[in-house]
Structure formats: C-alpha cells, structure tokens
Structure 1
C-alpha cells in the first residue's frame, strides 16, 4: 500500500512540475502528461510497473470527455449529421483499413496480423482531438463537427474489430457473421434504451435534483449518469465513451446543460490527465529510439492515407476545401483504441513484441504531436490550399458580428424578466442565466432565452458567453453574491459594461470596486432607468428610449406587470392581491380550449389576460381574436396567482 501511494505521489509531483513548465513555454498540457507518464513508467524510473492497473480509472476521463461533448450535440443535430457520420466516417475507416491491410499483408504475409495493424492505424484519437478542439474553441466550427462525426463512427467501428481479430486468430468460437450480428442487435437495443431514458426520465430527475439546491447532489447525479451510461454500453460490447456521449446528447437538450458541463469539468480534466500519463507509460524509449525510422515512416504513410481519404471524400460530400483539409489534418494520428487492438493482437500472438513496440511508438509520438498540429491548423490549411491565413475565418467573423449586440442577464427574477422583454421588443439578442429550476422551466416554456446555472461560477459564465459579451446585467438584489459574480466576470472580461442592481446604495463603493460599471437602485422606476442604460449602450437612439419609457409610464407600467414565479417566490395574504404572475400553459390535444378562437373565450370572467401565444416555437405577436387555438400551442397568461390557477384548469378542462 505504501509503495502504491509513493508511486502516485511521485507521478503527481512530476506532472505538476511538467505542466507548469510546458504552459510557461506555451506548449499543450497533454505533452506534459505524456512526458510524466514516460518518466514514471516501467521503462524509465519504474515508479509504476504496470500501467494497466490505472487503465480503468484513466478510461473514465474519456467517458467524461465524451459526456461533455454530447452536451453540445442535440439529437436533431446528430440526425442532421448522419451523412457525415455514416458517409464520411465509414469511407475513412473502410478505405484506411483496406489500404493498410494490403500493405500489412505484403510486409508480414499474414492476413490476421495485417488486419490488427490496419485497425490500429485506421483509428484516430478521440481523447486528444476533442480535447484540443474544445480548448481552441473549434468544436462548434464546421471542421470541428466533421472531425467529431468521423470520430463517432470510429468508436462504433472498434466493436467489430475487437470481435473479428480473436476469431481470425482462432481464439474465438462461432462464426464471424453471427458474432457481428449479435453485437449489432445488442448495440441497437442499448442505444434505444439510453435514448428513451435520456428523453423521458433524466430531465425530470434533474429537475427534482435541482430543486434541492444542493451542489454535491447535482455533481453526484451527473457523474452517476455519465458512468452508468458508459457502463451499460460497455456491458453490451460497445465502448464506454459512446454510451456517455449518448447520455450527454440527451441532456444537451435540457436547460441544465451549462451547469452539468461546469460540474463535470474538474473530474474530467483530472482523469484525462491520468489517461495521458498511462499512454506515456507504454512507450519503451530504447525500442522507440532504435526503431525511430520505422515509426516516422509509418506515421508519414498513415498521415498521407488519412489526408487523401478524408479530404477528397469530404469534398465529394460538399464540404469546403478549408474544412475538408482541416478535419483531415486533425485526424492524422493513431488513437487510444489502437493500443487496445495492439494489446489484443499481442495476446493472440498475431504481432511480435518488436512490431507491437513500434506501433505503440507510432501512437504515442503521433498523439504527442497532435496538440501542436491543431494549434497551428489555420496556417497548415492555408499552406495546403495556397490561400492566405484567415484570422479570424469567415465562420468566426459571422459569430463575432452576432456577438456585438448581445446582452447577458445574470438572474431572471422580476427585474431580469423586465429587461428581457424590452430587449425582445427592440430586437436585441440576449441570454439569461438563473439558478431557480422552477422559474427557468416556466420561462423556457414561455419562450424566454434563459438557462439554468449559478452565475457565480466561472464555467457557467464562460458557457453563456460572459468572456466576450459587451454588456452584462446583474439583476438580482443580493449584493454579496453580486460581488462574487463581478469578480468572476472581470477575471475573464475587463471590457464589458456591467450594470448591477442593488436594493440601496449602502454597498455602492464595494460593488464599484469589484468591477461594476453602473449601480442602479431597486424600484420599478429603477427598472426603467436600467432599461435606459441597456438600450443606450446597445445603440438605440435616446429619443426612442425616452418615448418607450414615457409610454410605459402612461400605461401604468402595463408591460412590467406579471412575472414568472420561482420555487422561492412567497405569496402571503398581504401581497396576494397585488402580485401578478405569468404562467405558460401548454395545450395538449385533449384540452377543452383547443379548437376555440381567442374571441370565444371569456378571459375577463377569470380575471386574466392573454399576454402572448406561441405556436411551433414562434411567438404570435398581438394574437388576433380570430385565431383558433390548436394542440401544442403555449398560452402565456397574466393575472393574480389564484386567478391564473383557475384559468389554467378552465383552459384544460373547461
């Protein structure tokens, strides 16, 4: 026990020093972890004699990485990408396998050994590529999506390779066709189960967990979902990473996606570091140096095959030259599943120790070079297609132009909702974040652009764009929490104009010192003052602003009445007759009001107002009295709490 603890302590110490040193000289942390693994591994210092002891824990890093990636891909988005996954991905894997298989047979004279080599070289590194694309903010670009699509198919292709190799070596029983068919059936079944659970169970479970307002419970539930999904697919013969990706993809459609990503990030990064150290431990330096010429030759051949296949197939599928080359360059390396295939082939004596060592050297060296290649992706692509480097590229320019007018609202209580309505009226793009799950659920149902999350957390702020947004509103009245949010905002964005709401001016100096550009007191009139600053900073003419504010005053703050209640909204006897709630009612097919026009319904009898009508996720402005309500419509009601509840029963049951 003492020896294991000492080994881990030494490994951690080396990793800390190397990560610090590599970051100081602007090199990726992945290289530091690989070097730490080489030093601590059995071939140099020997602190850790058997890297396989840590393989399972290290693999969890890939599971959490793919879970995070899945949060960024919704099911409709993945369906839309099926042409890339099963077209480009299949072409790359099958084409690479065929070429490497022929070359391997010519060199070794054994089809089974050649297939093992071909399988190892045809696959790229999901862990390295996705991590580097995420760190360089390229996951959402077209070339990033093309790379992810190919990697997803590669993860699927691992399964038949792991089945076929033992059978070809005589180590399995039964036919290859039967084994592959059973794997396909099991895979389809487990994917269907995961998608059903993710669609119908997880959103409700996380809503209940969020209602408890316990951070550790949310973190534990997130880890449990990712690991159970990975374990389920692993039990049915698929990769753990694929199951975690599917679970993340299902939750990516929920309002909790940013909070989930922020909670899982620390565990993911630590375990990913451990994974890369275990990769480094597998490299035998002596053999690597002696066979360096073979390692470099194989890497050049592998790179050439993947570049040509991915580039030309992607181009044939209609991708831009720049995106096709960018994806091809990103996927030139051998992947982590290549080590699994090499190890399996070695177990069945298909590969000699020397060939296995050379392939491991190819994997480690190519993975080590990948972070640098992806960092220099733009210049490399421009060199290949003979165009000047775009900085930033067209997609980034479009994205930046959309960001120029964006506003971030921290807190979606009454004031935050008022600001959102005014911004909507002026056509100003904005996003809000709030940590009340009930309020977020109601607001999202009503069409508001709000996400669940704690705005005092750096990862949440980064996820909703606080690092680049020019205007930020802190609309809640908790001064101490506002100071925490200000500190996080200023650590990532010192140019943003930050407007802070406060109950009074007692903490004005503290808020200003923490980074507030403007502090506004708390009343309805203060809300109008806040709106004037927001619209003015967003470029709206002052005359138009004053006209809007005067219109609200003449209307007795008509548009400001009503708000989405949250789980902590208290309605006592004193305030019950003064508050007005907003409540979104979704009309199912059996609802009593379906088929009736707005004019037929006696809204005044229930003392509520029809504030808005949403149909197919599009808001119907000023719904006409002639409009007939349909199944699936979302009716936004405004009124006192008891009247809103009665009106909902009326619309649903008559």
Structure 2
C-alpha cells in the first residue's frame, strides 16, 4: 500500500511539474520555479512535510547535483583547470574567505549569535547556486564570456570548499572529542587516495570501458557505462568521507580527457535535468508557508543584506583584475545563496550546532534566494548596461584560453548574423570577432559571444586560439581586409579550415593564390538556390 502511495505521488508530481513548466516556459520563467512550486503544492496537498526531510528523498534530490557536477567536470579538463587557476583558486578563495569573514562578524557581533553558529552560517552564505547559475550560463551560452568564466571558476572553488565545510561541521558536532589534527591528517590522506585512485586506476578503467561500450555500437550499453562510472566514482568519494559530488566531478574531468566527452555530455543531459528537477521539488517540499508569511519582512531584509554584501565584496575583488562591467555581472550572478547551504544547515541542526527554528528560518532565506534568482539573472546584462557606461567594447579574450573546436566568425554584418543563426541551429560553438565597435555592441546586445579586434593581427589570432579552431568563416565585404585576414590565419595555422565569402569572380581570382579551404561566391550560390527552389515547385497548368 505504501509503495502504491509513493507511485501516486511521483506520477502526480511528474504531471504537475510538466503542466506548470509548460505554462512558465510560455511566459519566460525558469523551470526551476516550476519544480519548486510542484514540491510545495505536493507537500501541502498530501501533507508530506515530514517526508520532505526523509533521507531517501534527500538522496534522490542530491543526485541531481551529482549529475550537474559531473557535466561541469566534463567541461573542466585538467588542462582547462590549469588555465583557469586564477578564476578558481585566486578569485574563488578570496571570495569565499572574505565573504565568510564579513558575514561572521555581522552574525556574531551584530546579531549576537554563538561563534559556532556564526561560522557555519557565514560559510553557508558564502556559497552560490551552481545549479541555477551554471544552468543559465550554459543555456544562454554566456559561460564562455569573461564574466561567465569568472563565475564558473568561483563556483568550482565553492563546490570544492563544501568538503572542508562538512568536515568542520563534523568536528564541531563531536565537541572536539577528536583532535583536529587527526581529522585533518585523515582528510588529507583520504584526498590523496581518492584523487590518486580516480586519476590512475580509474582513468584507465574509464577509458577502457567507454571504448569497449562504444565499439559495441549499442547506445544503451554506452549509456549504462557512463551511469556506472558516475555512480561508482560518487560512492567511492562518499565512502572516503567526501560528498558524492566530488567523485562525480572528478569522473567528469577524467572523461573530459577522452574523445567521448561530447557524446557523454549530450547523452547524460536528460538524466541530469530530471534529477536536478527532483532536487528542486524536494526544496519546494521544505517550504513552510506559515513560517514564511509570519517572517516575510525579516526574510526579505536578510536576503537583501546578503545580496548586497556578496555583490559588493565580489565586485571590489574582481575589479582589481577585470573591467567594471565584467566585475559587476559576475558579482550579480553569484549574489544568491546556493543549494549546498541546505545540506550544511541540515547537518548543523542535526548536530545541535544551530537551533532548529533558526535553521528553518535560514532554509527559507535560501529558498527565497533561489526562487528570486531565475527571475533576476536574465536581466543582469541590461542592469549592468544601465549602471555602468563603459566606452570600450569587450576586448578581454582571456575566456578563450584553452578553447577548442570552435568556429571563429569574422564580421557581424548581414551575412555574419545569418551565419551565427545557422551555427546556433546546429548547436556549433562559435565566437564573433569584428573590428567595428558598432557591430560588436550589436552582437553583445543580441547575446552573442563577441570581441573587438583585428583578426589580421597575430596577438588576436593567438587570443582566439585559431590553431585549435574548427574553422574560420570570413564574412567581410572589403577585399583588402579579407586577404589580410586569410594570409594571417593561414600563416598562423596551416591546417585550419578557412571559408571566405566573395561577391564577384574578380574577388575570387584575387584570392586564388591563397590556400583557402572554400571560397563561396554569393552570386553563384544564389543562382544555385534559385534553380533548386524551382525544381521543388509544382507545375502550373492553364
């Protein structure tokens, strides 16, 4: 009977979430809100508030974060992590450290909370939402922009920082019965074992298993192998005293070094999205509407305080090395409180470090933060444009460091716009480069990853990673400029595919001496399309 009830709840939740998200999609609201609303409706409709705190349900929700961390790992290979060391280890460490110190001082000395409670709250509030921010950055393709890379690096450090935070909670729960040096030594030893095993034995096993399952040409076997790798790595990390997410993240990094990472990422996406939805349904089930209503003023006030503190700290920190616009965008993207705070507050409450009522209030602040964020993030670019009037267009190409298999679109006039549209339809990663402030600004306003620069310059070619690009598409009209760009690209990278648009036979002849992969004559292509369209027409009879 119990099993039947569980199945009924799952079916209702699934159907309700679909209906709500279809409606929200039409009005441009994130599906995360739909999942949270589903959880709240289910909890109150069937009186499942106690069930929302069950270990089994929380575990199911947590695996949404596990698969999210796995997909992040797929995009952060060891080489890329090395190239992002400033974003991850410098910006990330300073952001978490300074935010924790400032929040601790406020909670302990202004709000008069105990030192233990203050340090846990400060650490939890220093974290941002990986699930919301990275999901948005990936879907909007802003993850490759300078602020997208800064946000990604800081989020990665925050996720790594969860591990010592959980260890600290364990130490505080034990009231210091165990020597802290013993705990730290055990933790260090465990880290060495986890990383060592996963990157030595695990790497060989993963490579063999993926090759073996891919050679079978049976999709379900390949998918099964990927799921096994994720689950096994997660469980191994958990049994060594860490979070499931750490194992999944490392597994993703290992697969990122193989030739199967693109296939794995596309195959795993539906599982990640469904499980991530489960996580937010569980979050919605934890909402205590009556407690929220009675404390709505306090919750909103504390949220705004946290929002301002995190934004100001991050802006000041990033402004040392980035432009005002990039710093503000990154700060606003990471101004909310993250999903790992739920885990931290739950463990702290169960260990009697934080009072249960205080923990419930803190959870509502986190939920309010996560509900508001999806409404807010789509307007960050517009807000930044109004607050900061920068004369310079994007020239910082540091986000392109380590980029591979991308298409470089030279020029963003009429043809360039159509090229980017077709590339988006094919889901091909690309960047736009133009020497016109007007065109670059136009591309940025349309949500494209665009940079200002002269592609005929060696420094720009190196910044664009032309030697690792899949192709360079030249859409400019000026013949002299086209030739300079083609010569520079071919001299810099002999094997790159260069596709050039010409408008006359004369232009084609003037470029004939260059080793251009494909020259597209606009007039010839129009004539070909006209004939093709004619052949598809039905004959008309009088």
Q: TM-score, normalised by structure 2?
A: 0.72
**CA-CA distance at 1:64 after TM superposition:** 1.4
The CA distance in 1 between the partners of 2:345 and 2:273, in whole Å, is 26
Q: Is the 8 A contact 1:536 1:542 kept in 2?
A: no
Residue-by-residue CA offset, 1:416-454 (whole Å, 9 max, x unaligned): xxxxxxxxxxxxxx9xxxxxxxxxxxxxxxxxxxxxxxx
1:22 corresponds in structure 2 to 24
Report how far residue 359 of structure 1 moved. Answer: 0.7
Q: Give the aligned partner of residue 402 of structure 1.
A: 408
The secondary structure found in structure 2 opposite 1:319 is coil
Per the alignment, do residues 195 and 464 of structure 1 end up closer, same or farther by CA in structure 2, a change over 3 Å counting? farther
Q: Deviations over 1:142-196 (max 9, x none)?
A: 2122112112221222222222234334456312232123212212321232222
User: How far apart, CA to CA, are the structure 1 residues paired with 2:96 and 2:13?
Assistant: 36
2:40 corresponds in structure 1 to 38
| CA distance in 1 between partners of 2:344 and 2:18 (Å) | 31
Which of 91, 96, 106 in structure 2 is aligned with 1:93? 96
| 8 A Cα contact 1:11 1:40, kept in partner | yes
Q: Which moved more, 1:372-381 or 1:30-39?
A: 372-381
Q: Which deviates more, 240-249 or 328-337?
A: 240-249
- Secondary structure of the equivalent of 1:190? helix
SS at the partner of 1:402? strand
Residue 13 (str. 1) matches residue 31 (str. 2) = no
The Cα shift of 1:275 comes to: 0.8
2:465 counterpart residue number: none
| Aligned positions of 1:89-128 closer than 5 A | 89-106=92-109, 107-128=111-132
CA deviation digits over 1:598-636, x for unaligned, max 9?
Answer: xxxxxxxxxxxxxxxxxxxxxxxxxxxxxxxxxxxxxxx
**Compared with structure 1, are the counterparts of its residues 351 and 258 closer, same or farther at alpha carbon in structure 2 (3 Å cutoff)?**
same
- Matching of residues 513-524 of structure 1 within 5 Å: none
Aligned mates of 2:39, 2:96 — CA distance in 1? 29
Counterpart in the other structure of 1:355: 358
Match of 1:68 among 62, 68, 71: 71
Change (3 A) 1:174 1:328: same
Structure with more helix by fraction: 2
Distance 1:87 1:396 in 2: 15
Distance of aligned partners of 1:131 and 1:375 in 2 relative to their CA distance in 1, 3 Å threshold: same
Q: Who is 2:5 aligned against?
A: 3
Q: CA 1:58 to 1:206, structure 2 compared with 1: closer, same or farther past 3 Å?
A: same
CA 1:197–1:322 in structure 2 vs 1: closer, same or farther (change >3 Å)? farther
Instruction: Give 1:83 deviation, angstroms.
Output: 2.4
Q: Are 1:185 and 2:173 matched, yes or no?
A: no
User: Which whole-Å CA distance do the structure 2 matches of 1:535 and 1:127 have between them?
Assistant: 38
Change (3 A) 1:195 1:397: closer
Cα drift, residue 320 of structure 1: 2.6
Query: What is residue 275 of structure 2 aligned with on the other side?
Result: 271
Aligned partners of 1:312 and 1:466: how far apart in 2?
31
Asked whether the equivalents of residues 146 and 396 of structure 2 are also in contact (C-alpha less than 8 Å), the reply is no
Q: Distance in 2 between matches of 1:280 and 1:9?
A: 17
Shift of 1:224: 1.4
CA contact (8 A) 2:194 2:240 kept: yes
Q: CA deviation at 1:373?
A: 2.2
Q: Is the alpha carbon distance of 1:301 and 1:178 closer, same or farther for their aligned partners in structure 2, counting shifts above 3 Å?
A: farther
Instruction: Please name the residue that 1:594 is paired with.
Output: none
- Looking at structure 2, the residues matched to 271 and 538 of structure 1 have their Cα atoms a distance apart, in angstroms, of 49
Measured at CA, do residues 161 and 138 of structure 1 come closer, stay the same or move farther in structure 2, by a change above 3 Å? Answer: same
Change (3 A) 1:250 1:2: same
Deviations 1:238-291 (A, max 9, x none): 222222222212222322221111110111111111111111111101101111
Following superposition, the deviation at residue 81 of structure 1 comes to 1.6
Describe the SS at the equivalent of 2:337.
coil
Specify the SS of the correspondent of 2:200.
helix
Counterpart Cα distance in 1 of 2:513 and 2:391: 49
More relative contact order in 1 or in 2 (CA 8 Å, sep 6+)? 2
Return the offset for 1:22. 0.4
Query: Which residue of structure 2 aligns with residue 232 of structure 1?
Result: 236
Does the CA-based 8 Å contact 1:112-1:169 persist in structure 2? no
Cα deviations across residues 437-494 of structure 1 (Å, max 9, x unaligned)?
Answer: xxxxxxxxxxxxxxxxxxxxxx9985545999xxxxxxxxxxxxxxxxxxxxxxxxxx
Secondary structure of 1:349's counterpart equals: coil
Q: In 2, distance between residues paired with 1:538 and 1:237?
A: 62
Query: In structure 1, the residue corresponding to 2:408 is in which secondary structure?
Result: helix
Contact 2:61 2:278 in 1 (8 A): yes
Task: Figure out how many residues of one structure are paired with residues of the other and give that number.
Answer: 431
What is the SS of the residue equivalent to 1:376?
helix
Structure 1 partner of 2:442: none
- Give the CA RMSD over aligned residues: 3.4
Determine if the alignment matches structure 1 residue 129 to structure 2 residue 133: yes
Displacement, 1:67?
1.5
CA distance in 2, matches of 1:132, 1:217: 31
Quick check: 1:61–1:269 contact (8 Å CA) kept in 2? yes
The equivalences for 1:365-384 within 5 A come to 365-384=368-387
Structure 2: any 5+ residue segments left out of the alignment?
A: 412-418, 433-497, 516-542
Provide the rounded CA distance (Å) in 1 between the counterparts of 2:232 and 2:278: 21
Unaligned runs of 5+ in 1: 406-429, 431-458, 469-533, 550-654
| Cα distance, 1:127 vs structure 2 | 1.4
**What's 1:327 paired with?**
330
Corresponding residue number in structure 2 for 1:222: 226
Separation in 2 of the partners of 1:274 and 1:137? 24
Kindly state the Cα deviation for residue 117 of structure 1 after the two structures are TM-superposed. 1.6
Summarize the alignment of residues 603-642 of structure 1 with structure 2, pairs less than 5 Å apart.
Answer: none
Shift of residue 61, structure 1, vs aligned partner: 1.5
**Which residue, 143, 147, 152 being the options, matches 1:143?**
147
Q: Residues 45 and 189 of structure 1: is their aligned pair in 2 closer, same or farther, counting only changes over 3 Å?
A: same
Q: Deviation at 1:403?
A: 3.0
Partner residue in 1 for 2:246: 242
Work out whether 1:303 is the aligned partner of 2:310.
no
Residues 164 and 176, structure 1, Cα contact 8 Å, conserved in 2:
no
Higher Cα radius of gyration: 1
